[in-house]
Amino acid sequence: MKMKDLLTILLTGYLFAGCVKLDVVPTNKFTDETYWTTEDKANSVLNMAYRQLFTNDYFMLNEILSDNVYNGYGTTNEKVIALGLADASNGRFESEWKACYEGIKTCHTFLANIDRVTTMTEELKTKRKAEIRFIRAWLFLELTTWYGDVPHFTEDITLTQSKKMERKPQAEIMAWIHQELEEVAAVLPKREDYAAADNGRITSGAAVALNARAYLYESNWGKVAENCDKLINSTAYGTYSLFPNYEQLFWVSNEYNPEIILSLQYVPINRTWGNLVDYAPMSANARLCLAGPTQELVNTYLMKNGRKWTTADPDYAGRDPRLAATIVYDGSTWTDRSGNTYQVVIHPDGTTPPNKISDKYTGAGTAQTPTGYYYRKFCDPNPASYTGGSWESSLNLPLIRFADVLLMYAEAKNELKEMNATIWDQTIKKLRQRAGFDNTPEAMDLPAGDEAVLREVIRNERRVELALEGLRIFDIRRWKTAETVLTQERHGAKFDKSSGSYDYIKLPAGSFNRNRDYLWAIPRAERLLNPNLTQNPGY
């Protein structure tokens, strides 16, 4: 039985009770001395922590916070944030805080009680503790990335203590995260050392990769390069490589391939995620299109020969193949779950295929796409990947890929002024070869220019390679470009005929206050419970 299957075992009886603030109290089954008697019971708590690591909802909704995707149907909390209208009562600010401290509570409960289990070997306990410590470090990284200074503690706290906690400086929390990840990387097994039944467990490679990401968020380029080097030029923490087919990388049949360093685990029927019902083409029996990719994201994809796309080029032909593997555009070929293929028609003047729901762009606020584009990435064509005929998917969602490690390494080396043909060939060239670019100098060779020129090339590559995986918002925040890209008018496909001839759909610009929005508000509800929690500027 794989790790993703274990996540579904006997969790219902062990859920946390009450509202989850800093003072979340678990049911007495977790803290009762009679509970910690078997490995299976300990694993139930560990499995809960795995579930609390991250959610499919945030995975999808984080794109709406960025310039990759526009939320046209309804108004999500993320759209309110992107429009610069969020206050300290915003539901995402509250739920993110709540979810992270829920998970931290589970981790502390596990660490405080695991030694009571006498049926586990000390070696296994040490490994399980390392997994929990990784999850706790992940959650604190999530918190401090969004909120800056946050309450930080390394053992369970009482209700009284929770109402007196103060925010610890972000730099101190980050130093702790780095130390934790270094220590657990030395304890956790490599991916190859796990049995098949443990596929999906946290590995030493995941700890190294997360540490690289944490240093990336601090622009500590030397440490980013050092940690990425451990995974690229060494096998001490596992052997990783790019999966040869970009589109099929995101299919269930390939979810434990050597590119996946860490993923959210799902299993048919018992634990699935269904967000694609609001992102896939309507003709594929989606419910509606909550949000669609922007024209700005589409424009980012180069031509296959390595040139930048211009309006003089075909809209979609001859482009980086990752475009077709990521985004559904007008004329895309779609394979339904019966194996039949048809062309997706999105242009307002097009003809909808027989017996299909229309995908055509019909304007703002309708059930169809708001941008003229739909999602393809994660839409596995195999019907066995879903529960029944619905969009409830059992696909593991990637949290860290080896491709990301290559991109972090390239960015760090460039910022250190150490980019050369060898590093380029190890990183960007490999990604383009896997994508299917033409073997031309413009596509495959290190471009001429200084680090500023290469910076834009690498950032562009990062955007298209990791598109729709929820990471873009973190990039534009750390690059300090959010204040620019989020305040510009966005666009959709060339389907707007309001002026008499077709032009690109105009989408409203967002708003981003550089003096406020690089940090989220400490939730108002938390400050009412604990007056020692100060607020971030501007809220």
**Can you tell me the distance from the alpha carbon of 105 to that of 99, in angstroms, rounded to the nearest whole number?**
10
Q: 207 with 351, same domain?
A: no
Q: Which domain holds residue 344?
A: 276-382
Q: Which two tokens stand for residue 175?
A: 């130093």
Residue finishing a domain among 345, 360, 382: 382
Those residues with Cβ within 8 angstroms of residue 261's Cβ, 6 or more apart along the chain or in another chain: 191, 203, 205, 206, 209, 231, 238, 240, 399, 400, 401, 402, 404, 405
Q: How many angstroms separate the Cα of 29 from the Cα of each of 15, 26, 104, 114, 298? A: 10, 8, 18, 14, 51
Domain boundary at 324, 349, 382, which? 382
484: amino acid identity, one letter:
T
Does residue 175 share a domain with residue 106? yes
In the prediction, which pLDDT does 31 show? 59
114 & 126 share domain: yes
- CA 229-234-239 angle, 5° bins: 110
Same domain, 178 and 313: no
How far, in Å, are 1, 196, 332, 437 from residue 317 at the CA level?
44, 41, 10, 13
Structural domain contains residue 59: yes
- In the numeric block, the tokens 């040490």 are attached to 126
CATH number, domain at 87? 1.25.40.390
Statement to judge: residues 35 and 140 lie in one domain: yes
- Domain co-membership, 244 together with 334: no
Whether residue 424 lies inside any domain: the answer is no
Reference 405, options 471, 337, 336; nearest CA is: 471
Give me the DSSP letters along 431-454: HHHHHT--S-HHHHSPPSS-HHHH
C-alpha distance from residue 259 to each of 239, 255, 394, 431 (Å): 9, 9, 19, 12
Residue 451 lies in a domain: no
Across the 539 residues of the chain, what is the mean pLDDT of every consecutive 10-residue run?
Answer: 43 32 46 84 96 98 98 96 95 98 97 96 97 98 98 94 96 98 98 95 98 98 98 98 98 97 95 97 97 98 98 97 98 94 97 96 94 98 93 98 99 98 98 98 96 98 98 98 96 96 95 96 97 97
* Structure tokens given for 98: 């709540």
69 and 203 together in one domain? yes
Distance CA 362, CA 368 (A): 7
Helices (H) and strands (E) in the chain, counts: 21, 10
Q: Which of 308, 310, 312, 343 is nearest to 464 (CA)?
A: 308
What domain count does the chain have?
2
446: tokens are 């290190």
pLDDT given at position 13: 34
Query: Are 303 and 351 within one domain?
Result: yes
What is the pLDDT at residue 401?
Answer: 98
Considering the domain architecture, whether residues 122 and 230 belong to the same structural domain is answered as yes
In-domain check, residue 295: yes
Which of 184, 223, 224 has its CA nearest to residue 204? Answer: 184
Q: Are residues 255 and 285 in the same domain?
A: no
Do 180 and 242 share a domain, yes or no?
yes
Residues β-bridged to residue 404: none
Both 17 and 85 in one domain: the answer is: yes
378 occurs within a structural domain: yes
Rounded Cα gap, residues 27 and 15, in angstroms: 7
Tell me how far apart the alpha carbons of residues 75 and 72 are, in angstroms, rounded to a whole number.
8
What does residue 371 show for φ and ψ, rounded to 5 degrees?
A: -120, -10
3-class DSSP assignment, residue 383: helix
Say how far apart CA 382 and CA 337 lie, in whole Å. Answer: 6
Angle CA(261)–CA(264)–CA(266) in degrees, nearest 5?
Answer: 125
pTM: 0.94
User: Does residue 339 lie in a domain region?
Assistant: yes
Both structure tokens of 402: 């080896």
For residue 513, tell me if it sits in a domain: no
Domain finish residue from 345, 363, 382: 382
Element (H or E) spanning 222, and its range?
helix 221-232
Residue 409 located in a structural domain: no
Q: Distances in Å between the alpha carbon of 297 and those of 327, 366, 493, 539?
A: 10, 22, 11, 31
